[in-house]
Amino acid sequence: MAQDIKPTRSELLKVKKQIKLAQGGYSLLKKKRDGLILEFFEILKQAKTLREELVEQYKIALEKINIARVLEGDLKIKSIALAIKKIPEINLATRNIMGVKVPKIETSEIKKVFMERGYGVYSSAAIDEASEAYEKVVEKIILAAEIETSMRKLLNEIEKTKRRVNALEFKVIPSQNKIKSFIQLRLEEMERENIFRMKRIKAKA
């Protein structure tokens, strides 16, 4: 029976402290959620622009390689491609966005000058232009990979934070407030009972 429960003032203080901590946590998590959402949409704008640039650069690269194929033939282009020995190194680091670790892709220079490409001086201008165009495509792809992975990580963290915010707002804090109200009510009832009991004792004395 609820009426048989006899809470103490220390229990009331403990519940009030828990409510205060939960409200503080709720406030911080809400700020974090809102901040992450702002960051997400900022990166989303970058991603949209980058995708458009990537598509456009890929179209340019296709045009350049098709011109080179017509002028030089597929066999020569394949031979030149196989002659390229220097492959860019890619290192994966991380950076921090509001406590979320997102990738930072570091790479050696992808775009090269003519003599750095490694296929010598026997290629035509068309092949060189195609090489340059595809180097730009690779640069865009690496940047897109970094940005889109960051978006996924931020989105996952937003969802996790939203669940925690909702749990505090709609479950934990209301539940603790109900417990606090119940304890306060029982303490008041117990105090009235004690006053009534004391009056009866005095009346009998």
Measured at the CA of 143, the angle between CA 139 and CA 144, to 5 degrees, comes to 115
Report the distance separating Cα 38 and Cα 41, nearest Å.
Answer: 5
The tens-digit pLDDT sequence of the chain (205 residues) is 445 668 888 999 999 999 999 999 999 999 999 999 999 999 999 999 999 999 999 999 999 999 999 998 888 888 877 777 677 778 888 999 888 999 888 876 676 665 555 555 556 788 889 988 998 999 899 999 999 999 999 999 999 999 999 999 999 999 999 999 999 999 999 888 888 888 888 777 6
What are the domain boundaries of the chain? 9-199
Written as six digits, the tokens of 106 are: 């570091």
Q: Does domain 9-199 have CATH number 1.10.287.3240?
A: yes
Q: Is 100 helix (H, G, I), strand (E, B) or coil?
A: strand
Q: Is 112 helix (H, G, I), strand (E, B) or coil?
A: coil
